[in-house]
Amino acid sequence: MKELHFNTILEIVTHFYERATRDILIGYHFRVIHDFDTHLPRIASFWQLQLTGEIDAKEELPFNLIVAHKPLKIRTGEVNRWEVLFHDSLDEFILQKKISPTQKDLWVEKIKIFKKRLLVLC
């Protein structure tokens, strides 16, 4: 399996955030992020750690996901929409042959874990 590199992960994260920001259901959560130039690499570092067990930017640690997301008061339907948009983004990268179906499966496995953690907040 082709290795997932940080740049590919960052590209996927950026693509997802572009879609999520415009989304009618969950976009309002993302439109309050003022500094995407700082936020996107941090999120990409989180996914790099989840997907590869490695992280290039150690200064991004620790990731306090529940603490960071708790004030958002996320609803179950919003978490489900987040998941759908993420899957759609990954599908686009498969079509472009930037990731393999096996790599998507790894993302999906990690998305399920993160989704479960987010649903605790609902």
**Average pLDDT in the 28-33 region?**
92
Helices 76-95 & 101-119, crossing angle to 10 degrees?
Answer: 170
Rounded percentage of the chain residues whose pLDDT exceeds 70: 93
Where is pLDDT greater, at 9 or 70?
A: 9
Distance CA 78, CA 22 (A): 14
Residue 20, in any domain of the structure: yes
Structure tokens at 66: 């529940």
What is the extent of the structural domain holding 96?
A: 6-119
pLDDT in tens, 50-82: 999 887 766 666 677 788 888 888 999 999 999
Residue 1, in any domain of the structure: no
String of b and e for 81-110 (b: at least 16 CB within 10 Å)? bbbebbeebbeebeeeeebeeebbebbeee
Q: What is the pLDDT of residue 67?
A: 82
CATH code, domain carrying 63: 1.10.490.10
Residue 16, in any domain of the structure: yes
Confidence of residue 96 (pLDDT cuts 50, 70, 90): very high
Number of structural domains found in the chain? 1
